[in-house]
Each structure stands twice: as C-alpha cells, then as structure tokens.
C-alpha cells in the first residue's frame, strides 16, 4: 500500500477499550443471524449484529481490537452457522454500517442480478460459488453487495478460497493481465531521496529479470508537485524510449490531488492515477477523499488509455479509530465495492474499456492488525476472493513490516500458499527489502521463482518486449543477459540513438549504478545457486538490514541524548514500554497525565504571546533514527534558522516524546493552541523515527498547520497533515529536509488562504 495517507494510517488508533471478545451461544435449528439477534435483544440491535458477523471471521488481532472478535472456536462455529442460514436479501436490507459509501454500493449493485439471488441463503451462495462455472458466477456476482461478498470468506476454508480464486478471472481490456495462468508485477522502484536515477535503474533492473507488466509505480518521499513531476517525467521517458506507451503505464503514488495538479501543470506526464481507499466515509476523509472526488477523477479519464489504480488493506479503518463497529474483512470488501463503482464510471468514458486495478497491501500496517504468517496467508486469500467477486483485477502486496513476527523465509512460504489462488500481480523490488518504505515484500527474483514453480506467464505484450531487448530468447528461455541491468541500459541508450561503443555505455552505466547503490538503493544482479536466488553478497546484506531492523525496534532514547537536546521538555505517552508500544499502537497516541501537565505549563508560560508553532520529537519505531550523529541536530538548527528568517516565531521548547506516534503530536498541538486566535494559523512539526529496515535510520517530519479554531475543536487528524520522509545523513540530508519543510508550510498556508483543489471536495 502506498501513499503518505497509508503510511500515516499505519501509526494507528486501535481502540483498546473495545477489546472484549464476543460470545455467541447455542444456535437453534435453522436460526439465522437476525433471529439470533432478536432472541438476544428483543429486536434488531446493530451492535450485536455487527458482533455476530465479525465473530464468524478467522481470528485476527484487529477484529478483537475493534470489539468484534470471537472469544473462542465455539463462538466462531456458532456465528458461521447463523450466517449460513441468513438470506442475501436480509443482508442487503441491513447494512452493517450505512454512509455515503454504502449508498454508492447499493446504487451500483446490479438489480437484475440481485433479484436472482436475494432469496438464497449464504450457505446456498457458498455452494453455488464452489460448484458452478465462472460464467454462472459472473451471472450473479454483480448483484451482490459488498457486505454480502465480505461474508463469503467467513464460510470458507483456505482450500475453498483457493478453489474460488482459480475460477474467476477479470482481465484488463486489451491485455492478458488477469487471465488464468498469468501473474504480473507492479515494479516498485522506490528511492529514499526521489532521485530519478534511483527510480530508473530499478526499472532497468526489473526488466533484466523479465519482471513488470501492469504498472511502474513509485512511492514518493516528496509529494510536492514539482518533485512528483520530475519522477513522472523520468518514468515516462523509459516507457516512451522503449515504445511501451500502449503496454505499461507509470505512476507516482502521491495523493490523487497532487497527481491532478501535475497533470494540469505538466501535460502528458501522468498515465495511471493512484489513490489509497478506505471502507468508510470517515476513514476516506482522513485520506482526504470522497466518493464524488474519485468519481470525478474517473470521468476525467475520458478517452484515455489508462485509468485508476487503488490500494487497500485490511485494518486501516480500525487503526484510524473509524471502523464504526464493522469487522476488517467486510470493510475491505466495501473498498472493493467502491472500486467496482469507479470501474463502472470509467467504463463509460474509456474507449477500450475500464483500465482499473487494485493492489491489496496485506500486512503493511503491523501486528495490531495481525501477527503471524498464517494470518497473512488467510488475509490474502480472503481478499483475492472478495476482489474477484467484485469483478476487479486484483493483485497483492504479500508483505510484512519489520515489527511483525514474519521472517524473510516466512514470506517465501506465504507466497507458495497464496499463489494457487492466482492473484493478478505482485509487487516487485530488487530485493525483498524496500529501501524507502522499510518493509518486506516480493523481489524481482521471487517473481522468477513463482513463474517457474507455478507456470505463470507475464502479459504477452511485455514478454514480447523482453524478447525484443534480449532478456528472453526465441525459445522463451532466459538469455545470457538475464539479471544484467547494464544490458538493459545499453538497450535503452541504443533506443535513444546513442552511437557510442558498448564498452563506453557500460562504463557510464557502472558509474551510475555505483551512485545509486551509494544512496542506499540496492540493485540485484546475476543470481545465486538458483536463478531465483539473490547473489551471495547481496543476500548477506539484506540479512544484515533485517537484523539491524530488529535491533532498532527495541532501541530506547538514552539519558545522554535527551540531555543534549536544547530546551528539551521530556514527556511520555501511555505506552508503558516498547512491548506495549508495538502491540498497542493507540497507547503511543495518548499522553500520560504528567505529560499533559508539562505541556499545559509550556502553554501557560506564553501568556498572551503565543508562538506560531511547536517542534515535537518522538522516538517512533526507530529511536536510532533520532539519536544517530548528524540526524536531529542539523535539522533543528536549520529549521529554526529558516523559520526565524521567514518571521515565523516558534516555541523555544523542544518537546521530546518517549513512546510517541504521529497522533501524539496532534494532541500536543491541541493542548498548546486551543486558545489561539481562531483565524490565525498555528503549526506542529513532529519529527519521528521511521520504520527500521534500511541503512539510513531515517526519520520523518509530520507537518500540521491549522487555524486556532481547528486546534480548539480537538479533531486534528492525518487528512490535514503533510510529511517529509526519509530524512538522514545518507538519504534526504537534514538541512535539505528543513528547506523542504518550509516549502510545504508555505504551500499549505497559501492553499488555506487562496483555496485549491487539494482542499475542495
């Protein structure tokens, strides 16, 4: 998953008070969910209804935190029995939660198909899906609402979910992507500094392993319009040079509004447009989107080849405190219902059919959603089934954060369990370790292994390209150029009309590769014992980064470091220790009573002369990122100098939070600025250690600028926050990050004053 909104969501707001498990007692013969709820409550009780539906899920930590997790297997069995007896029509008439998104799902559910199934029980639907053909299933599946589809996996085993995945195929128009026996890749060429060469060379690297066919999509560090445009142009150049414009699109995964501004200011630089989606209006508000906004962007794709690209993942609603009592799987299904509605809109305006695909980023948020490799497999199988039943072309990010108990070897095992369900595509990196987002996913060579093991094919048009540039021979075997990005670079230069000798181009390419790797971006070359193994040197390095990440997770701020911060005010959240912080993310979002008192003393010391802003520093998931030499101090010094020059008076204090997450900064700002002039702007700059897993030990700066009125309302959240990420002496230099921070502050202030698309529905 991943835009800034998704990264923000990963810091979570799991409601600890809602962890009581659900007990569902004995079920009467033929009793359905609604009869049981009525027997329990004397009528219809939506909360109990939500709990019974949630209790039918396989266990995941996130459902328990939401308050809908089954207490035991007996409860789970009873809840499934009730659901089996429940009619589709009754589920249609009783949504688990009603909002604008639910109403959109109703509006875009095929009523003729619904009429065929409304009197079926969920047990009958399950049998139909497992015994009938794809044609038969496609004759009714558009008549199923997302709530109904979200209940299907509750009644199925992993083996049954795989069988369903093997039946349904939703193909992107004009391609083989999504066809039976095909498994593609989104190349994810992320850079800690958004350096175009880092991005482009990872694309060359992917091509050298014949990997990549659905989209080239990079996650930006800097989501300003100018920076996004620079990376978009670099990707467009590769696609255009290789004459792949009708074969594969490119995308920079900034907020969709930013991409729209890039398209407006730099015509023809944007192909597919990306956005993260949630399953409730409340969570989509945090992502700064609405149904209407996304539908308008779909209509704006009129006459274009490429459409929209969405990312989803179980858990984003509960980690943001807006699950509204609904279990994670149904909320995930509602995201697919949103996607289906957008696809219908795209189909009206795209001449070759709707180009829309969805990437389920399972495992990206962390252990508060689920912890084990078995749960990761289950989540992926559930989501493939639900996505396909919505008619979507759906891929996976089979991934794990480095604070989950899923190892490098576990990921291989997970891939092998999931691939028989035939997801449309997977993410692809030079190694399993993302150099910018600091999480583990699938490598280029994982794709090679999976293609060999399961017989999967790459989209025909891209496979022809791999033959054309000599990575694959005429017999569909890998050539001697396999795993050699220098060869791909040479082909790129030839396509540009470069007449230099091959040795000269190779020498230039080696120097560029060296520079890329010095910036912390590993490039895979060659292979190990098997063609799907990393070369031995790179394999050792990846293992070292993994081990360092585990150490970084448990690092704590030292007394010497705390004492060295100028005008420091140390405070703590409700997290009692690192274990509590990692297991219960919401504990790191709330200040303890002593911290509240300390912050109120700062506020009271200002009297009527309030500064314009406050700097907050938190350990986050990587205290080393804050404590490493040359990281924090240069940023603080440059940031304060720049703000002073800009005549923005800041608080002299540096508030240092132990056990802090992003929302702790919002709560501090609300305490400090609740009595500020309602019409004046106040800011919090929150410096926080990022996910470990790269050589950089990087931190991010979360920039929140709001009016005094908004601070006083005490509802500040991620939707108004921007960030500068991957700040480190080996990534985005701290002084440069300070300059970027000031640029973003000016953009925010200007847009609040003048108005822009970014702040409109």
Give me the mean pLDDT over the 375-401 stretch.
97
| Residue 168 shares a structural domain with residue 100 | no
Q: 392 lies in a domain?
A: yes
| Residue 178 shares a structural domain with residue 310 | yes
Three-state DSSP at 253 gives coil
Q: Could you say which DSSP state residue 20 is in?
A: P
**pLDDT of amino acid 365:** 85
Q: 6 lies in a domain?
A: no
**pLDDT beyond 80 at 50:** yes
Question: 13 burial class (0-12, 13-18, 19+ CB within 10 angstroms)?
Answer: buried
**pLDDT of amino acid 531:** 97
**pLDDT of amino acid 582:** 86
Strands 650-658 and 184-187: unpaired
The Cα-based distances of 16 to 49, 401, 718, 745 in angstroms read 21, 21, 20, 34
Asked if residue 337 lies in contact with residue 374, where contact means CB atoms within 8 angstroms, the answer is no
Per the prediction, the chain carries an average pLDDT of 93
726: pLDDT confidence band, cut at 50, 70 and 90?
confident
User: How far apart are the C-alpha atoms of 167 and 475, rounded to whole Å?
Assistant: 30
Asked if residue 598 lies in contact with residue 571, where contact means CB atoms within 8 angstroms, the answer is yes
Q: What is the token pair recorded at 650?
A: 């800041």
**pLDDT of amino acid 752:** 62
**pLDDT of amino acid 192:** 87
| Residue 139 shares a structural domain with residue 196 | no
**The domain that contains 637 carries what CATH number?**
3.40.50.11240
**The domain that contains 282 carries what CATH number?**
3.20.20.70
751: pLDDT confidence band, cut at 50, 70 and 90?
low
pLDDT in tens, 109-156: 999 999 999 999 999 999 999 999 999 999 999 999 999 999 999 999
Q: 160, 187, 202: which is the final residue of a domain? A: 160
**pLDDT of amino acid 415:** 98
Give residues with Cβ within 8 angstroms of 681, minimum separation 6: 612, 705, 706, 707, 708, 749, 752
> 251: part of which helix (H) or strand (E)?
strand 250-252
Asked if residue 754 lies in contact with residue 657, where contact means CB atoms within 8 angstroms, the answer is no
**The domain that contains 88 carries what CATH number?**
1.10.220.70
| Residue 227 shares a structural domain with residue 327 | yes
Q: 160, 186, 206: which is the final residue of a domain? A: 160
Q: 712 lies in a domain?
A: yes
Give me the mean pLDDT over the 317-334 stretch.
94
**pLDDT of amino acid 20:** 67
Structural domain for 727, as ranges? 555-757
Report the range of poorest mean pLDDT among 473-487, 503-517, 693-707.
693-707
Q: 547 lies in a domain?
A: no
What's 412-463 look like in SS3? HHHHHHHHHHCCCEEEEECCCECCCCCEECCEHHHHHHHHHHHCCECCHHHH
11: pLDDT confidence band, cut at 50, 70 and 90?
very low
Q: In which residue are the tokens 């498990």 written?
A: 21
Percent of the chain whose pLDDT exceeds 90: 86
Nearest Cα to 272, choosing from 293, 229, 301?
Answer: 301
> 727: part of which helix (H) or strand (E)?
strand 721-727
**pLDDT beyond 90 at 363:** no
Report phi then psi at 616, rounded to 5. -120, 140
| Residue 701 shares a structural domain with residue 718 | yes
| Residue 170 shares a structural domain with residue 219 | yes
Chain centroid to Cα 2, Å, comes to 4
Strands 699-707 and 681-689: antiparallel
**pLDDT of amino acid 694:** 79
What's 44-97 look like in SS3? CCHHHHHHHHHHCCCCCHHHHHHCCCECCHHHHHHHHHHHHCCEHHHHHHCCCC
Q: Could you say which DSSP state residue 591 is in?
A: B
**pLDDT of amino acid 12:** 36
Three-state DSSP at 472 gives strand
Q: 546 lies in a domain?
A: no
| Residue 605 shares a structural domain with residue 456 | no
Give me the mean pLDDT over the 711-730 stretch.
92
**pLDDT of amino acid 9:** 36
| Residue 372 shares a structural domain with residue 348 | yes
Number of domains the chain is built from: 3
User: How far apart are the C-alpha atoms of 578 and 556, rounded to whole Å?
Assistant: 8
Question: 39 burial class (0-12, 13-18, 19+ CB within 10 angstroms)?
Answer: exposed
Length of the chain: 761
| Residue 127 shares a structural domain with residue 200 | no
**pLDDT of amino acid 730:** 87
**pLDDT beyond 80 at 760:** no
| Residue 496 shares a structural domain with residue 566 | no
| Residue 305 shares a structural domain with residue 437 | yes
**pLDDT beyond 80 at 473:** yes
Report the range of poorest mean pLDDT among 53-57, 219-223, 413-417, 627-631.
219-223
User: How far apart are the C-alpha atoms of 758 and 187, rounded to whole Å?
Assistant: 28
| Residue 33 shares a structural domain with residue 176 | no
pLDDT in tens, 180-208: 999 999 999 999 889 999 999 999 999 99
Give me the mean pLDDT over the 515-542 stretch.
95
**pLDDT of amino acid 6:** 37
**pLDDT of amino acid 5:** 37
Q: 253 lies in a domain?
A: yes
Q: 160, 177, 208: which is the final residue of a domain? A: 160
Q: In which residue are the tokens 């009206």 written?
A: 348
DSSP-assigned beta bridge partners for residue 357: 309, 393
Q: 284 lies in a domain?
A: yes
For the entire predicted model, the pTM comes to: 0.87
**pLDDT beyond 90 at 402:** no
User: How far apart are the C-alpha atoms of 250 and 273, rounded to whole Å?
Assistant: 9
């Amino acid at each position: 998953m991943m835009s800034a909104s998704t990264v923000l969501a990963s810091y979570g707001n799991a409601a600890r008070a809602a962890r009581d498990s659900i007990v569902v007692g004995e079920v009467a013969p033929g009793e359905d969910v609604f009869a049981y709820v009525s027997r329990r409550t004397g009528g219809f009780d939506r909360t109990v209804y939500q709990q019974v539906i949630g209790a039918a899920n396989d266990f995941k930590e996130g459902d328990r935190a939401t308050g809908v997790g089954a207490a035991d297997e007996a409860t789970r069995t009873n809840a499934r029995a009730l659901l089996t007896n429940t009619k589709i029509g009754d589920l249609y008439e009783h949504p688990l939660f009603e909002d604008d998104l639910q109403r959109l799902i109703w509006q875009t559910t095929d009523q003729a198909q619904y009429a065929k199934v409304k009197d079926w029980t969920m047990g009958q639907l399950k049998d139909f899906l497992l015994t009938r053909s794809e044609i038969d299933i496609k004759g009714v599946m558009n008549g199923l609402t997302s709530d109904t589809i979200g209940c299907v996996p509750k009644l199925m085993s992993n083996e049954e979910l795989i069988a369903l995945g093997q039946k349904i195929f939703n193909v992107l128009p004009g391609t083989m992507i999504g066809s039976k026996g095909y498994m593609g890749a989104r190349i994810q060429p992320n850079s800690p500094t958004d350096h175009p060469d880092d991005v482009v060379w990872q694309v060359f690297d992917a091509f050298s392993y014949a990997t990549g066919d659905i989209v080239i999509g990079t996650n930006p560090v800097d989501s300003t319009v100018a920076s996004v445009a620079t990376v978009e142009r670099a990707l467009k150049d590769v696609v255009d040079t290789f004459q792949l414009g009708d074969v594969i699109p490119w995308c920079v995964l900034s907020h969709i509004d930013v991409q729209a501004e890039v398209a407006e200011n730099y015509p023809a630089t944007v192909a597919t447009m990306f956005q993260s989606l949630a399953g409730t209006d409340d969570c989509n508000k945090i992502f700064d989107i609405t149904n209407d906004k996304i539908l308008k962007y779909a209509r704006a794709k009129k006459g274009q080849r490429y459409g929209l690209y969405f990312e989803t993942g179980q858990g984003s609603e509960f980690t943001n405190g807006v699950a509204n009592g609904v279990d994670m799987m149904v909320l995930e299904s509602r995201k697919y219902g949103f996607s289906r509605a957008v696809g219908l809109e795209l189909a009206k305006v795209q001449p070759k059919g709707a180009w829309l695909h969805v990437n389920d980023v399972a495992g990206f948020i962390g252990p508060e959603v689920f912890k084990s490799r078995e749960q990761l497999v289950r989540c992926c199988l559930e989501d493939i089934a639900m996505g396909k039943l919505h008619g979507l072309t759906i891929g996976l990010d089979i991934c794990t954060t480095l604070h989950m108990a899923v190892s490098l070897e576990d990921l291989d095992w997970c891939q092998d369990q999931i691939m028989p369900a035939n997801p449309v595509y997977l993410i692809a990196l030079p190694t399993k370790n993302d150099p910018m987002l600091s999480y583990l996913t699938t490598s280029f060579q994982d794709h090679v292994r999976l293609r060999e093991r399961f017989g999967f094919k790459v989209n025909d048009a891209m496979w022809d390209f791999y033959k054309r540039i000599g990575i694959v021979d005429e017999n569909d075997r890998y050539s001697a150029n396999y795993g050699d990005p220098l060869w791909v670079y040479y082909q790129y230069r030839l396509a540009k009309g470069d007449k230099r000798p091959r040795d000269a181009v190779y020498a230039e390419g080696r120097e560029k590769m060296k520079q890329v790797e010095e910036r912390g971006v590993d490039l895979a070359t060659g292979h190990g014992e098997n063609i799907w193994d990393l070369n031995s040197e790179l394999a050792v390095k990846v293992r070292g980064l993994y081990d360092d990440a585990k150490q970084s997770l448990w690092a704590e701020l030292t007394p010497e470091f705390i004492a060295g911060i100028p005008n420091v005010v140390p405070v703590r959240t409700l997290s009692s220790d690192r274990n509590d912080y990692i297991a219960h993310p919401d504990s790191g979002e709330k200040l303890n009573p002593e911290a509240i008192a300390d912050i109120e003393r700062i506020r009271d010391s200002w009297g009527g002369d309030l500064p314009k802003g406050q700097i907050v520093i938190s350990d986050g998931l990587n205290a080393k990122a804050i404590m490493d030499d040359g990281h924090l101090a240069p940023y603080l010094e440059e940031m304060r100098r720049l703000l002073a020059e800009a005549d923005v008076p800041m608080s002299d204090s540096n508030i240092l939070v132990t056990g802090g997450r992003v929302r702790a900064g919002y709560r501090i700002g609300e305490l400090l600025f609740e009595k500020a002039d309602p019409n004046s702007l106040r800011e919090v700059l929150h410096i926080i250690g990022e996910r470990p897993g790269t050589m950089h030990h990087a931190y991010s700066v979360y920039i929140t600028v709001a009016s005094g009125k908004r601070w006083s309302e005490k509802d500040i959240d991620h939707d108004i926050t921007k960030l500068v990420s991957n700040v480190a002496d080996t990534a985005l230099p701290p002084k440069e990050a300070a300059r970027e921070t000031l640029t973003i502050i000016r953009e925010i202030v200007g847009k609040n004053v003048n108005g822009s698309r970014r702040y409109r529905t």
